[in-house]
Amino acid sequence: MKKHNFSAGPSILPQEVLQKASEAVLNFNNDNLSLLEISHRSKPFVDVMEHARTLVLELLNLEGKGYKVLFLQGGASTQFLMVALNLLEKRAGYLNTGSWSDKAIKEAKIYDDIYEVASSKNANYNYIPKGYDIPADYDYFHCTSNNTIFGTQIKEFPKCSIPLVCDMSSDIFSRQLDFTKFDLIYAGAQKNMGPAGTTLVVVKEDILGKVSRKIPSIMDYKIQISKSSMFNTPPVFAVYVSMLTLEWLKNLGGIAAIEKENDKKAILMYSEIDLNPLFKGYASKGDRSIMNATFNLVNDDLKETFDTMCRESGINGLNGHRSVGGYRASMYNALPLESVQVLVEIMSELETKA
């Protein structure tokens, strides 16, 4: 039975990427050595790292614009800390739109004054706050572009006179944006880019080196840049698979091409949620994520029937997060439209049975 993988992360990867990655585990570059056992200092892997960084800048249209690319470890959660260590001198502003931004605020508060410029916590994060002010004397403003748990996504980013930092862990490379608006972007790989184990950081170099505190070497963006993401042994396999995924995306036609596919999936999914009286969407309509559609059954008595239908059709990873309950269809770049069609057909069939 074909599986339809709606897992929120680690999530679906392109089949051709998985095939190439599996071959590299056994025999990388036809050298009769595994990718997992070659030196990270060897030319074959240095080439991988350099190519991956180049692809990031190319796909985000940031080449020659003063940005540096890092592949680090520790997940996006470590970036909650690193951002504050490297950029926070006195105070900073955060937009609180979900669990991950809430955790980012908690970590940053260890160092200095952190202010929530706005929050949607009062409605269990089912919308994106708007109309807030960002003081010009803050060191930076931090936001989370897509909220995986709650299914919301920022559609229009604020204009900032201070550095704009964004956690794009769950929608990086999924839609066209003017990425020059952002001074620092970070993203865990395991949604749209690769397996768990590496975190992408894209930072405008001229915002660094302005804090007075001492920064531990491994947490210092400037040192990591000077060492080309190899201050310590990098996550070799995760970086390699990320490189393959970025190549796959480039060959498809880049972000512009994948955005069209993502829009088709989201339109199909949300149309069924809105038209089918058995289901109700969780997120505010104007703030719905194209990556994570969150929804609930109106009548929980149908849960067992619906779950069985999904399981028998090969649908995986549809359960919602405990904070929201219900269901969450994660429609990352590598998820084919066919999988969404299968899910929508099951939802429609449930309506005829109810």
DSSP codes of every residue in 210-228: ---S---GGG-HHHHHHTT
191 is catalytic: yes
316 three-class SS: strand
Tokens encoding 253: 């036609």
Distance CA 32, CA 227 (A): 28
Task: Determine if residue 98 is left, alpha or beta; phi over 0 gives left, psi from -120 to 50 gives alpha, anything else beta.
Answer: left
Identify which of 4, 13, 12, 7 has the alpha carbon closest to the alpha carbon of residue 311: 4
167 is catalytic: yes
292 three-class SS: strand
Identify which of 113, 121, 120 has the alpha carbon closest to the alpha carbon of residue 140: 113
Q: Which of 139, 183, 191, 220 is catalytic?
A: 191
Distance CA 109, CA 84 (A): 9
100 is catalytic: yes
CB atoms within 10 A of CB 336: 16
Tokens encoding 110: 């260890």
Distance CA 202, CA 220 (A): 14
CB contact set of 31 (below 8 Å; sequence gap of 6+): 38, 44
Cis omega (within 30 of 0) on the bond before 158?
no
Instruction: Find the helix packing angle between 254-275 and 337-353, rounded to 10°.
Output: 0
Q: Which of 100, 139, 220, 248 is catalytic?
A: 100
Q: Which of 139, 167, 220, 287 is catalytic?
A: 167
- Active site members: 100, 167, 191
